Amino acid sequence: MADQKSDNGGKGAPVPPGGKGPGVFAKWLKEQIQNLKGRVKEEGESLKRPEKTQLFKSMFRVKHDDSDRSRALGVLSNVFFHLHPAKINRDAVRYRFTWGMGGITFYLFLVLTLTGVLLMYYYHPTKGQAYQDIIYLMSDVPFGKLLRNMHRWAAHLMVITVWLHMFRVFLTGSYKKPREFNWCVGVVLLVLTLLLSFTGYLLPDDQLGFWAVTVGTTMAQNTPLLGSLGPLGRQLHITPYNDVRFALLGGSIVDANALLRAYIWHCIAIPIIASVFMGVHFWRVRKDGGISGPAPVMLASDMDKPVPPYNPPKM
């Protein structure tokens, strides 16, 4: 395989090495067939033992063997036995590296939960009453305006910080092995954060919320396979009365049922699902060896040499 890389610069399909006569070509072809057979055998083996595949290992960590050292390691690396990690990479926890965005996103979630529970004391998810409650909260309830604005601004900020966190993770290459699974958990958290924002929009039952949800659910109606107006919708006998828009609104118009559904998704279902995923996310950061940390700086000419021990400069 190394020859083949050098012959085509590592790009595209393998090409035979330059040489004279059909003998060289036949030898090369034989090698390629051998390689292919080896790959097929490897793939077959991995199907028989899925726990050896990279996909499996990215989700579940391998067991320790039964030595004293391994057992001690098992306790030290267990999040429940040992809440704080025994060792952390000093450079990985610098704000310069993480921007603190994951942590800030989590704190904003806590602010939203607290202010959200307090808001629930003043809000009824029913037509007519919902908007009145907001007016009452803003004008008569002591600190009501502050409470509502804290919730609203924390929600806007959380959407911004979650994107920045994802951007940082991407820039530092922290989505790569062994953190692929946590990246996927993160994608789910991103979607849940956006859904929290979206479902909260309708709750004041004002013009802004009404039209935002009208536009959002009409987009859902145009989704392939799920929406009555989307590609293949008609062929699958999906109508405005059984499609995804209907499920989201609890009917075919944005009305009382939609308000109640948005309320339940926003205040109960999505926060619980997001909390579970956050628990898994933090647990995985720990299991993947802590926050990734900056890679040691290397010159291109040193790439083939053995990696020297990393001694970061004292700041």
Q: How many residues bind ligand HEM (CB under 6 A)?
A: 27
Query: Is cis: bond before 178, omega within 30 of 0?
Result: yes
Q: How far apart are CA 224 and CA 143, in angstroms?
A: 46
Distance CA 81, CA 75 (A): 6
58 is a site residue for ligand HEM (CB under 6 A): no
Under the binding rule (CB under 6 A), the answer on residue 102 touching ligand HEM is yes
CB of 279 to ligand HEM, least distance (A): 11
Candidate list 106, 131, 136, 283; residue touching ligand HEM; CB under 6 A = 106
Residue among 138 and 278 whose Cβ is closer to ligand HEM = 278
Compute how many other C-beta atoms are within 10 angstroms of the C-beta atom of residue 305.
9
Backbone torsions φ then ψ of 58, nearest 5 degrees: -70, -20
* Residue 291 touching ligand HEM (CB under 6 A): yes
Q: Give me the long-range contacts of 126-135 (CB less than 8 A, separation at least 24).
A: 126/256, 126/259, 126/260, 127/205, 127/255, 127/256, 127/259, 130/203, 130/204, 130/205, 130/259, 131/204, 131/205, 131/206, 134/204, 134/205, 134/206
Shortest-Cβ-distance residue relative to ligand HEM: 186
The nearest distance, CB 174 to ligand HEM, in angstroms, is 3
Contacting ligand HEM (CB under 6 A), which of 162, 249, 262, 267? 162
CA 206, chain centre distance (Å):
32
- Comparing CB distances to ligand HEM, the nearer of 58 and 292 is 292
By beta-carbon proximity to ligand HEM, the closer residue of 244 and 270 is 270
Select the span of 2-10, 27-35, 243-251, 285-293 touching ligand HEM (CB under 6 A): 285-293
Distances (CA, A) of 102 to 177, 293, 308: 19, 14, 31
Taking CB under 6 A as the criterion, which residues in 171-230 touch ligand HEM? 172, 174-175, 179, 182-183, 186-187, 189-190, 193
Q: How far apart are CA 241 and CA 3, in angstroms?
A: 61
Cβ distance to ligand HEM smaller for residue 148 or 284: 284
Residue 16 C-beta: closest distance to ligand HEM, Å: 41
- Nearest Cα to Cα of residue 233 among 219, 241, 222: 222
The reply to whether 285 sits near ligand HEM by the rule CB under 6 A is yes
Measured CA to CA, the distance from residue 121 to residue 144 in angstroms comes to 11
Residues at the interface with ligand HEM (CB under 6 A): 98, 101-103, 105-106, 109, 162, 165-166, 169, 172, 174-175, 179, 182-183, 186-187, 189-190, 193, 278, 281, 285, 291-292
